[in-house]
Structure 1
Amino acid sequence: MKTFLIDDDDLGNYLTETLLRLEGFSDDIRTFQAAEEALQALLTQLNEKIPQIIFLDLNMPVMNGWQFMEALAPYETRLHGRCRIYILTSSLALTDMEKAKTYSLVAGLIHKPIDVEEIRAIRSQLEEERAQ
């Protein structure tokens, strides 16, 4: 499964990627420290094999997670059903949870750091949907 990890935190990226690999979640993980770079990579692959899962940090310089989501808005119909976004955040703000619900591509909000149980729950949900 192709996965994008978008976070400006080196240590967080290392830990998340390591956990994803150890859990056998994905064999194709691309890590981006800048949302703009990830956006460009995603848009150049729209007609190809896009990532099925994106883990997106909210608080990043230059382009934050919400700005990334807004930039994807024109492509939403092309991505829907093909790509799920999980927001990664250290924030406990209810406004973030409510805002995340307004984006149809957002499948969930995960408080950092991501843990094994969350990875297993996402994988289980994906497997259930494939079986239907």
Structure 2
Amino acid sequence: MSSTFFSAPPPSENEKKLRSDNRKLKREIDIGKEDLENERVLHRKSRKLARDLSIELEDAKLQAETAVSENRDVLEQLKECKENALKWKEDFEALKVVVDGKTAQINGLLDSLAKAQQTTSATN
């Protein structure tokens, strides 16, 4: 018995081109799959970043609201201080008038005392 090998004919130019095109398409598909996966990763990262930024924005908003509230409180305290200062100024001015009157009264009494002493000294 003799064995005979049956060999396939060499591929035609059309088959070679089809195989080459097929390899190119597979490479493009693989690249497309990688691109799609990269897009998915970027999308997940951007959603996480958006959530993180939203949280930071909310924190900043709360801090700003707290600062505004504290500033209002301080402003209210400053207004009270100003009102108190004006009241104390009025009280001081009124007290000054009283002190000036008492000083004049004391000076008058001292003058009268000095005259009385002079009169007493002159009669002795």
TM bucket by the smaller chain?
A: under 0.3
- Larger relative strand fraction: 1
Q: What's the TM-score, normalizing by structure 1?
A: 0.15
Higher helix share: 2
TM-score by structure 2 length?
A: 0.16
**Structure number with bigger Rg:** 2
Higher relative contact order (CA 8 A, sep 6+): 1
